[in-house]
Structure 1
């Protein structure tokens, strides 16, 4: 699989290099040189396969497009080890369902991309590493937990996770800030966008790159997007064939990796009529789709904190895909929902369809409910278990949510994070200190 840097088309790498580097030069995102496409017969064959087999075929189509970088049976093994949990499609009404992607070990859709990334990285990375291998990750909530649990205990890989202080839920924090060992977590005095910019700056730091092999498990890593393509196929496989050409999918959107994966699935030939890009009041993309102007505002903290992103990293990939496919942005539906409406929607979902949701999924549900047309069938992408937002959901719905065992086991453990000012010099020193600590062992 050949990929190019969308900021420098002359910089091309294979899949192994792209997954290990994460970003290209000048913080450029990698994007496939070839965009494979299945015909209708091939799509039907794929949809008749089981989830593991289908996913392996989709991934192999991308990864082994030009030459066999990873043998098919090894891809199957990686998929089996990563996708070990169910993906139920819960029917809500005659024309709407929710694809629940939160039945993995950290109760978030992020488990798909990050667990597969860990499996593939371990399969292709050369060991022992010539330089210390560090994964730097910024999280607005769920990514941190998925990264920490996917790589926990792998001594050859150091994980450093940054997150905005006091801007994620307590249970989200407990999920990844209580592990220790090879997992270090930094509570940053600032918004998620600042955490993200600190990580990007480290990728451009020559001294850090000289001392370490650095990577990112954020959705900027191409392996995560390829993994997420797989569950869009699973969503279509679970609905009756007669509905497949009427499908509208509403995607909770923060950093826009989830929607990017859905659009790549559509590019492969998956029959999706249209997508809805669903955001909270951090609505840079909806405003852009409305008036064509890219004008990020300062990030606002909301109930749907994982979507508190004003400058989404993956949007350049979406622009690149639309340009390559000659698609019009007028085909991409959109909308934004404020906190008051989110609260009402959570209450209405429980009262009207007897479904307990959480803020991110509720936003996508609200926009789908408001925009679905007669004859269409809608799927909401359910991104997180409501227990991860226990305090918010219980307060709004006046009900008690029983914590799943995964959360119960971590809820009473101490937070191991270090507080950090939003200063690159401080962050840089923390990274460089790891080299000193490692040499001292």
Structure 2
């Protein structure tokens, strides 16, 4: 399988090189030259998740891993579950927060880390993983790579714009994990990362790589839990051909993976891209004018993204008929509706957090009577303890993963929104 640059299709790389390079020329995103398809979906869904995931992903990586090697790699990466939890008769949530950092990004980050551990073994100098986070990516990447030989990690995040517990999960580790609190928005952090990758000398000097959802390895890993969701729905309901997936969308990597799963043969009926008031995509789908506006801080802070990095991949699949353009709708959910959604879920006996609530409300607005809806639960509600307790008026406990880091010292270095200062930090190590 080759991967080509969406901006410069003549630039093609194999899987390992696409993963190691991260971005292509002119910040172009890599995309698979073809989407492998499976006709034996029922048989796939009867398999355990790890074995199924190895079969699903093997066509994407067969130049670099044998089937046995891939199975071992995925066994190390996916050593936790994804769980479908019923909300009412026609709506369920796919809980993706049962990994070590209590967020869906554990799937992609751990798969990428396992790949890079193999690919970096022959390097004479360490790799530098540079990534920006609006919340959960930082923790997932930090824990996935923590303690790995020959790999250093630098994480940028917007100072004061993520929850304290989110911050604690990745800024307290130390060792090969360095964290920078940037005076700006998440979009500013992403821009700094992109500027670094545009500096070819810097890329070579420090062995730069990105662990954001722009990296193709993270994207591939996310395909797997949509198959797992369908497998659980099939066991619980006996059918899965009426699925509507509502995806809380910030950088749009999750939606990209869902669409790839559909293109591979998983019969997802349609998708709802749920955003908060940072509504670039819903407006674009209505007007066909791409007009990002200044980022607005919200309760669902991981989705506070005005310029989603993965949108070019989504649009590529739509315009090239890899998926049917009619299968996607998008809706923005404001802060009041987000809080109402959390209270409604609580009345149904389910404690949720703002990101999942955005997806839940979007799904409720758009689901039809003959459909079964799944909204993604992308983070444990305790990661947003203050806002959840305030909105619901009830205390929630801390799981061990959060309790263990809650009292640890934050080790971040403050940094201005200045590329020159970031470059100096990276080269002074």
For residues 280-429 of structure 1, the aligned pairs below 5 Å read 280-325=276-321, 327-351=323-347, 353-429=348-424
Q: Would you say the 8 A contact 1:135–1:157 is kept in 2?
A: yes
- With structure 1 as the length reference, what TM-score do the two structures score? 0.95
Of 333-342 and 118-127, the range deviating more from structure 2: 118-127
By how many angstroms is 1:276 displaced?
0.3
CA distance in 2, matches of 1:97, 1:207: 49
Match of 1:98 among 93, 98, 101: 93
Partner of residue 144, structure 2: 150
8 A Cα contact 1:387 1:404, kept in partner: yes
The corresponding residue for 1:78 is 73
Deviations along 1:378-425, whole A, 9 cap, x unmatched?
011110000000000001111111100010010001110011110001
| Residues 7 and 26, structure 1, Cα contact 8 Å, conserved in 2 | yes
Counterpart in 2 of 1:180?
174
Contact 1:243 1:377 in 2 (8 A): no
1:53 to 48, 51, 54: 51
Deviations 1:181-234 (A, max 9, x none): 100000001000000010011011122123121111100000001100000000
Match of 1:231 in 2: 225
CA contact (8 A) 2:263 2:322 kept: no
Tell me how many residue pairs correspond in the alignment: 427
Distance 1:125 1:406 in 2: 29
> What's the Cα RMSD here?
1.1
Q: Report if aligned partners of 2:129, 2:153 keep a CA contact under 8 Å in 1.
A: yes
C-alpha contact (below 8 Å) 2:269/2:327 kept by paired residues: no
Paired with 2:324 and 2:115, the residues of 1 have a C-alpha distance of: 34
> 5 Å matches for 1:64-213?
64=62, 68-127=63-122, 129-213=123-207
TM-score by length of 2: 0.98
Q: Name the CA distance, whole Å, in 1 between partners of 2:58 and 2:316.
A: 22
Separation in 2, partners of 1:77, 1:120: 11
Shift of 1:44: 1.4
| Higher deviation after alignment, 28-37 or 354-363 | 28-37
| CA apart distance, 1:325 | 2.5
**Preserved CA contact (<8 Å) 2:15 2:60:** no
After the TM superposition, which residues 6-25 of structure 1 pair with which residues of structure 2 at under 5 Å, given as runs? 6-25=6-25
Is the 2:57–2:220 Cα contact (8 Å) retained in structure 1? yes
Deviation at 1:34, TM superposition (A): 1.5
In the TM superposition, 1:225-264 aligns within 5 A as 225-240=219-234, 242-264=238-260
